[in-house]
Amino acid sequence: MTQEKRMPDVPSLPLLSGHPLFRSQPATVLDALALGASVRRVAAGGQLFREGDPAGHYYLVISGSVEMLRYGQDGEERVFRLYERGQLVAIAAMFMAHARYPMNARARTDLAVHRLSRAALHQVCAAHPDIAMRLLEVVSQQLYQHVNQVDWLTGSSASQRLAAYLLGLPRTADSTAVQLPLSQRQLAAHLGVRAETLSRLLSEWTQRGLVRGRQRTWALCDIVPLQRLASASSRPF
């Protein structure tokens, strides 16, 4: 279920002013970006937008998280990225010539977002070249990350990719625990391996004492061998 609430007379949004793209911008710029903004609430599992929909808006996450995904020819869903509080969703799509969303956006949890206008963003960029340059930097960085992702998927083994992924998950300094943000089937698709291959690797690593856990909760019990595996597929920058 999706609910939307219009926000007339909204001043610059606090979350927007705190975003790296718009930090230190005057209130007049933030007000222009927020022109015509509204709040959307989407229940967990609901669609924020679908691949191919007209891309007239981008979104700022207030609470909850959004997963960006596509469906492969085999019907498997592939999650490309998660967005959480304070992050902008579909900002690059605002500058695509076909003006359509290239992916599906689904609420991973109950979600609240600010819905922001493509037209207002274009007007602000035309009037403030420094913001346009920052956006260009962001889009260029995303492109670079995607190139590295393709190289990583095609030039590394399943075990190297899994080790790098697990080591990249957040954990506290005194803890080895990690929480998978994806289901194991989604993770297998993300890593470019079969679900059976992922299950086999986790089982083997559990037997060797490298990891311990089940479903989405795991502990990295012996990090050094995982680091050796991951380093083979890492890049210097």
Predicted confidence (pLDDT) per residue in 2-47, tens digit = 665 544 434 447 888 888 889 889 989 999 999 989 999 999 999 9
In this prediction, residue 6 carries a pLDDT of 47
In this prediction, residue 1 carries a pLDDT of 58
Question: 26 with 107, same domain?
Answer: yes
Picking from 153, 176, 206, the residue at the C-terminal end of a domain is: 153
The DSSP secondary-structure symbol of 64 reads: S
Task: Answer whether residue 126 is part of any domain.
Answer: yes
| pLDDT tops 90 at residue 172 | no
pTM of the model: 0.77
- Residue 77's identity, in one-letter code, is E
Angle of helix 184-191 relative to helix 195-208, nearest 10 degrees, comes to 100
Question: 46 with 115, same domain?
Answer: yes
A 10 A CB-CB count for 124 gives 21
Task: Answer whether residue 236 is part of any domain.
Answer: no
| pLDDT tops 60 at residue 155 | yes
Distance CA 237, CA 226 (A): 20
SS3 192: coil
pLDDT band at 235, cuts 50/70/90? low
| CA-wise closest residue to 42 among 55, 59, 25, 17 | 59
| CA-wise closest residue to 42 among 106, 104, 115, 118 | 106
Task: Answer whether residue 60 is part of any domain.
Answer: yes
Report the pLDDT averaged over residues 111-115: 94
In this prediction, residue 23 carries a pLDDT of 85
SS3 228: helix
In this prediction, residue 138 carries a pLDDT of 86
Question: 133 with 174, same domain?
Answer: no
Instruction: Give the angle subtended at the CA of 53 by the CAs of 70 and 48, to the nearest 5°.
Output: 70
Task: Answer whether residue 92 is part of any domain.
Answer: yes
Minimum mean pLDDT among 49-63, 111-125, 222-236: which range? Answer: 222-236
Task: Answer whether residue 190 is part of any domain.
Answer: yes
Higher pLDDT, 112 or 3: 112
Picking from 135, 153, 171, the residue at the C-terminal end of a domain is: 153
- With contact defined as beta carbons under 8 Å apart, do 223 and 153 qualify? no
In this prediction, residue 64 carries a pLDDT of 94
Task: Answer whether residue 237 is part of any domain.
Answer: no
Adjacent-strand bridge partners of 117: 57
Picking from 132, 153, 174, the residue at the C-terminal end of a domain is: 153
Report the pLDDT averaged over residues 211-221: 93
Question: 88 with 191, same domain?
Answer: no
Distance CA 207, CA 22 (A): 49
Distance CA 185, CA 121 (A): 37
Q: What are the tokens at 92?
A: 């690059």
* Residue 12 structural domain: 2-153
% of the chain surpassing 70 pLDDT: 92
Report the pLDDT averaged over residues 79-83: 89
| pLDDT tops 80 at residue 197 | yes
CATH of the domain at 195: 1.10.10.10
Question: 17 with 95, same domain?
Answer: yes
- What is the Cα 89 distance to its own chain's centre? 8
Question: 210 with 122, same domain?
Answer: no
Q: What are the tokens at 19?
A: 């975003």
Distance CA 124, CA 36 (A): 14
How many domains in the chain?
2
Report the pLDDT averaged over residues 185-192: 88
Question: 92 with 139, same domain?
Answer: yes
pLDDT band at 57, cuts 50/70/90? very high
CATH of the domain at 144: 2.60.120.10
Predicted confidence (pLDDT) per residue in 203-213, tens digit = 999 999 999 99
Distance CA 103, CA 144 (A): 18
Higher pLDDT, 232 or 43: 43
Minimum mean pLDDT among 66-70, 87-91, 104-108, 143-147: which range? Answer: 143-147
Question: 146 with 208, same domain?
Answer: no
pLDDT band at 237, cuts 50/70/90? low
Q: CB within 8 A of 94, min separation 6: which ones?
A: 55, 58, 118, 121, 122
Question: 63 with 32, same domain?
Answer: yes
Question: 77 with 105, same domain?
Answer: yes
Question: 69 with 24, same domain?
Answer: yes
Task: Answer whether residue 168 is part of any domain.
Answer: yes
Where does the chain have alpha helices with state H? 14-17, 27-33, 118-127, 129-155, 158-168, 184-191, 195-208, 223-231
